[in-house]
Amino acid sequence: MVQGAVIARVAAPADNDALVELSVACPMEGDIGLAIDRAPDFFAMNRLEGTSWQVGVVDGPDARPVGCIAVADRDIYVNGHPRPAMYISDLRVHPAHRGRGVAHALIVWARDACIAAQGPQALAFLTVLAGNRSMARLMQGRRGLPVMTRVATLRSHTIPLLWRRGLPADGAVTVAAALPDHLPEMAALWARLASRRQFAPVHDSASMAAWIEDAPGLDVSDYLVARRPGGALAGFLGIWDQSAVKRLRVTGYSRRLGAVRVAFNALGPAVGATPLPPPGGALRNLTAVQVCAPPDDPTVLRALVRHAHNAHRARGFSFLNVGLDVTDPLAAGLTGLLAQPTDVWVAVVTLAETPPLLDGRPSYLELALA
C-alpha cells in the first residue's frame, strides 16, 4: 500500500486489468509520445521475455497496483559465449504516485528477485529511454539502490512506409518468405552471428520455433530470408504487427516530429502512404524482430528491409521500426530510408557482485519487447 511502508509483491492474474490501465497512464515520452495499451492481456509480453518471469507491483490505497516492474531469466551471449542472465523491464509508476518511494520499492524487489533466481553473481540488465532524467537519477544507486551502468545505446530506426523502394540490382541476394522447414538453418545462422553481439538471446531451432509460435500475431511466414546465388542463407528478419499484444496511441509530437508529420501527411496521398494520426489517434506500425545479417555485409539487411517496406506499404501501417546498436555496422543498410532515430540505453545492474566487463561488440535486444 502507498501509505506508511511501501512494499512490493508478486503480481497475480487478478491484477491484469489494473496493470493494463497503469501502462496506458504512463506514456513513453520521446519525439512521439506514445501510450501503450496492452489489453486484453498485460502479461502476454512478459511471457516472451524469458524462460521464466515475474511481475512485481506496489498497491495503492485502493489495493490496486500503482507501480510495476518485471524480471525474466534468459540465456544470452556475453563476450561471445552463452550465459544465463536476468532482464529487468516494465518499470512504471502512476503519475499520481510518483515521489513516494514506489520506484525504490520496485527496484529493490527486482534486485532481490534476480538474486533469488540466479544468485549474487547474476548478470542483470535493462533498457531505458535515452534522456529519461528520472531513471538517470535512479541509475546512480542512491539510498541503497543498485548501481545501473550504461554500457550501450540502441537506436530504433523508424522508417516511414512511403513510396515503393528500389531493390538491389546486383543479384547478391534473393529475398522470399520463410517456411517452417527453414527454421533449422535460420537458427544455425542466428547462433553464428548473434554470438558477435552482447545480450542477444541464445536460440536453437526448437526455441526459435517456440518463441515465434508464442508471439501473438507473428508467424514463420512473417519472416523474410535472404539467400546467396548458390542458395546459402545470408540473413533473415521477422516483421511483427504487435497489435494483438500492444497498441500505440499518440499523446503528442515534438516540434521536429510535428514538422515531419505535416510533410509526411502532405506527401502520403500521392504515394498511398498511411497518414500519421493526430494526438489521441492510434498509430499502426511494424517492428523487425530477430534481425540477423552479417555485420560485414549491410547489403543483406538493406535487401531484407526494402523488401519488407515494399510488401507492407499502403497496408495501413505508417512505420517500420528496426532496432540496432549505434555502433553496429549493419546500420549502413538503412541509409536512404528517411529513418527517424529514437535512442535507448542499455545498462547492467550491480546486484551483490560486480558485473562482468564487456568487450567492444555491439549489443542486440528485441526492442519490440522493450
Highest mean pLDDT of the ranges 155-169, 172-186, 276-290, 345-359: 172-186
Instruction: Compute the average pLDDT of residues 123-131.
Output: 93
Position 2 confidence tier, pLDDT thresholds 50, 70, 90? very low
Q: What DSSP assignment string belongs to 296-314?
A: T-HHHHHHHHHHHHHHHTT
Contacts of 224 (CB under 8 A, 6+ apart): 175, 176, 177, 178, 236, 237, 238, 239, 304, 307, 308
Which cell numbers in the block locate residue 250?
499518440
* Residue 314 pLDDT exceeds 90: no
- What SS3 class is residue 136? helix
Length of the chain: 370
- The residue assigned the cell 542483470 is 124
Burial class (CB in 10 A: 0-12, 13-18, 19+), 5: exposed
pLDDT of residue 260: 83
CATH topology of domain 8-151: Aminopeptidase (3.40.630)
Alpha-helix residue ranges (DSSP H) falling in 51-123: 102-118
For residue 141, the one-letter residue type is G
Which cell numbers in the block locate residue 179?
517456411
Instruction: Compute the average pLDDT of residues 179-205.
Output: 97
Which tens digits make up the pLDDT trace of 92-103? 999 999 989 999
**Considering the entire predicted model, what is its pTM?**
0.92
Position 3 confidence tier, pLDDT thresholds 50, 70, 90? very low
Query: Number of C-alpha atoms within 13 angstroms, CB side, residue 338?
Result: 13
Q: What share of the chain is helix, strand, coil (3-state, %, to 5)?
A: 30, 30, 35
Asked if the bond preceding 40 is cis, omega within 30° of 0, the reply is yes
Contacts of 116 (CB under 8 A, 6+ apart): none
Position 4 confidence tier, pLDDT thresholds 50, 70, 90? low
Give span(s): CATH 3.40.630.30, the chain. Answer: 8-151, 158-346
pLDDT of residue 29: 80
Of 322, 321, 314, the closest CA to residue 298 belongs to: 322
Burial class (CB in 10 A: 0-12, 13-18, 19+), 326: middle
Which tens digits make up the pLDDT trace of 18-31? 999 999 999 988 77
- The residue assigned the cell 538453418 is 185
Backbone phi and psi for residue 143, each to the nearest 5 degrees, phi listed first: 55, 40
How far is Cα 280 from Cα 233, in angstroms, rounded to an integer? Answer: 43
CATH code linked to domain 158-346: 3.40.630.30
pLDDT of residue 1: 42
pLDDT of residue 70: 98
Angle between helix 205-214 and 183-194 (nearest 10) = 100
Buried b (16+ CB within 10 A) or exposed e, 81-101: eeebbbbbbbbbbbeebeebb
* Residue 170 pLDDT exceeds 80: no
Which tens digits make up the pLDDT trace of 29-47? 877 888 999 999 999 999 9
* Residue 15 pLDDT exceeds 90: yes
Contacts of 107 (CB under 8 A, 6+ apart): 69, 91, 138, 145, 146
pLDDT of residue 67: 97
Which cell numbers in the block locate residue 251?
499523446
Question: What one-character DSSP code corresponds to residue 120?
Answer: T
E strands, 24-115, where? 32-37, 52-59, 65-78, 81-93
Position 258 confidence tier, pLDDT thresholds 50, 70, 90? confident
Backbone phi and psi for residue 16, each to the nearest 5 degrees, phi listed first: -55, -50
Least confident of 170-174, 247-251, 334-338, 340-344: 170-174
How far is Cα 53 from Cα 51, in angstroms, rounded to an integer? Answer: 7
Higher pLDDT, residue 266 or 330: 330
